[in-house]
Amino acid sequence: MTYHFSKQYVQSFIDKEEFRRQSNKVLHGHPSPAHWKPLQEPIDFLLDERSGYAMRSEFEVNLYVGTPFCIKTKPARCGFCLFPSEDYEGNKGVERYIAYLKKEFEMYKPFYGSDTLASIYFGGGTPNLYRPEHYGQIMEYVDTLYGGVPADIEKTLEGIPQLFNEAKLRAISEAGFNRVSMGVQQLNDNLIKYSGRKQTRKQVFDAVDLCHKYNLANSMDLIYGWPEQTMDNMLQDLKDAIAAGVHHLTHYELNVAGRSDFASPKKRALLPTIETNIEMYRMANEYLHSEGFEQVTVYDWSRKANSDDDVRKASYDYEHSMHDFVDQENGEIQKTRQVCGIGYSAVNFHPNGLDSDDRSWIYMNQTSLKDYCQDIDDGKFPIGRGFMYNHQDVKLAWLFQSMQTMSINHSNYENIFHEDLLAAYAEVWNELARRQWIKITDESIEFIDKGQYYIPMLQSLIASVRLEEIRSVKKLTVSDIPVRIEATA
């Protein structure tokens, strides 16, 4: 079933939202975790089911390993961060957590043991809080679970600049990592102070130099729309990051939401206006294009490659799995991508099948360290909440991911879901074309100019009716589960 939107509904939705700050700017999928519910079933049931699907079609696995800890800041959580984390209280807590992580890896052996890994991402929180000896130790858990880690896949470790010293980067490289993703946010020493981080631009460039020394591909996260940031500050940061030789840039718009310090009235008063943010988006795009960077999603930019080594370093397979879970060639579906998550607040995304009676799942581990450890002590998978996709949700999840890339291939959509996308959302496309936010070609819908900037709002628009329905469901129980497929040889 598809929802048809009237012209009036589309126009009034956009008119209302256009001048509001959107709060879904970073890594937004359908539906957001706010709509997930506690799962009532033992997770082994769903994992068994996944094995059944695995025998029907090919998939590859992108593994995420979560870290809870962050250095305390004032204001808390760097002032802006909306991701779950727990205060770092010393190495004892880290070692205790790693022991739990090992147990969780072992619990997955019967279910994930025969999967093939396509990429590995250690994220958080702040994984570079660990001591040098911990990186190899955790990588060994991965190796044991999957019966080996392929040498040539991407293995990323995320962290903050001031914690990347030489001993750590050597250990990270020796543990098999080949890519580092650094959350820098601002290179200007005065502006970064709003986050309460004790970070300097010198620390950032020292860390990037060390990444080059250890042949680690380097990705940098920067944020625009920051308190008191000017266009010149933003362009200077991009220029300096490029000059330092980063291979990939993530240029997020500041997401202002929740109880973060940046959402307080005092800080909001310091934020650039929405009009300025739109101008920043435009200027950053123009500048990055002129510097030979290729835009891959609304916020991801890759350095153009001149050699095989550059190609490897500019690629970002783990993040890529977040914006295309179906691989197609000449109209044929080749395989799907799954995300397996282990550790605090890690997410598992199992798009099991693409037919209307197939069941796909997403679920997230506990976002309280206490609950995470308690579940493992009780012999349970430490899962907090999740969501079972119906066929409409799978279509929306695919559309959301495509929109991140600023282009929806409507021929591909038709191949996968046997539905005419242009007809299904006709009034949406009419309104966006009228505003010159999209261009429609024989193959695709291309988001242009302001249409790109407003992608998070347009994702909310196409999901809005379905989200109303989801809000009315309380818990997911066995009775919500219509089909159970059996493994076929």
Ligand X SMILES: C[S@@+](CC[C@H](N)C(=O)[O-])C[C@H]1O[C@@H](n2cnc3c(N)ncnc32)[C@H](O)[C@@H]1O
- In the complex with ligand SF4, the residue whose CB is nearer, 78 or 241, is 78
Residue 82 as a binder of ligand X (CB under 6 A): the answer is yes
Residue 284 as a binder of ligand X (CB under 6 A): the answer is no
Provide, rounded to whole angstroms, the least separation between the CB of residue 26 and ligand X: 5
- In the complex with ligand SF4, the residue whose CB is nearer, 183 or 343, is 183
Q: Which range of residues in 198-206, 251-259, 415-423, 439-447 is near ligand X by CB under 6 A?
A: 251-259
Provide, rounded to whole angstroms, the least separation between the CB of residue 126 and ligand X: 4
138: partner contacted, choices ligand X, ligand SF4, none (Cβ within 5-8 A by kind): none
Provide, rounded to whole angstroms, the least separation between the CB of residue 181 and ligand X: 7
Closest CA to 258 of 408, 383, 80, 416: 80
Site string for ligand X, 211-250 (x = CB under 6 A): ----------x-x---------------------------
Provide, rounded to whole angstroms, the least separation between the CB of residue 30 and ligand SF4: 23
CB of 34 closer than 8 Å to CB of 467: no
Site residues, ligand SF4 (CB under 6 A): 70, 77-78, 81, 83, 85, 124-126, 160, 183
Rounded to whole angstroms, how far apart are CA atoms 201 and 186? 8
Q: 200: buried, middle or exposed (CB in 10 Å: 19+, 13-18, 0-12)?
A: middle
Q: Which range of residues in 77-85, 393-401, 411-419, 443-451 is near ligand X by CB under 6 A?
A: 77-85
Rounded to whole angstroms, how far apart are CA atoms 196 and 199? 9
Three-state SS at 120? strand
254: partner contacted, choices ligand SF4, ligand X, none (Cβ within 5-8 A by kind): ligand X
Site size for ligand X (CB under 6 A): 16
- In the complex with ligand X, the residue whose CB is nearer, 134 or 466, is 134
**Backbone φ, ψ for residue 135 (5° rounding):** -65, -45
Q: Which two tokens stand for residue 229?
A: 């940031």
Q: Which residues face 273 on adjacent strands? A: none
Q: Which residue is nearest to ligand SF4 (CB)?
A: 81
384: partner contacted, choices ligand SF4, ligand X, none (Cβ within 5-8 A by kind): none
Rounded to whole angstroms, how far apart are CA atoms 333 and 409? 14
CB of 401 closer than 8 Å to CB of 29: yes
447: partner contacted, choices ligand SF4, ligand X, none (Cβ within 5-8 A by kind): none
Find the farthest-apart pair of alpha carbons in the chain and give their distance in angstroms, rounded.
62
Rounded to whole angstroms, how far apart are CA atoms 346 and 339? 10
Q: Which two tokens stand for residue 405?
A: 């890339």
Which residue in this structure is represented by tokens 């809000």?
Answer: 471
**Bond prior to 482 in cis (omega within 30° of 0):** no
Residue 353 as a binder of ligand X (CB under 6 A): the answer is no
Closest CA to 143 of 95, 96, 102, 94: 102
Positions touching ligand X (CB under 6 A) are: 26, 80-83, 124, 126, 158, 160, 183, 185, 221, 223, 252, 254-255
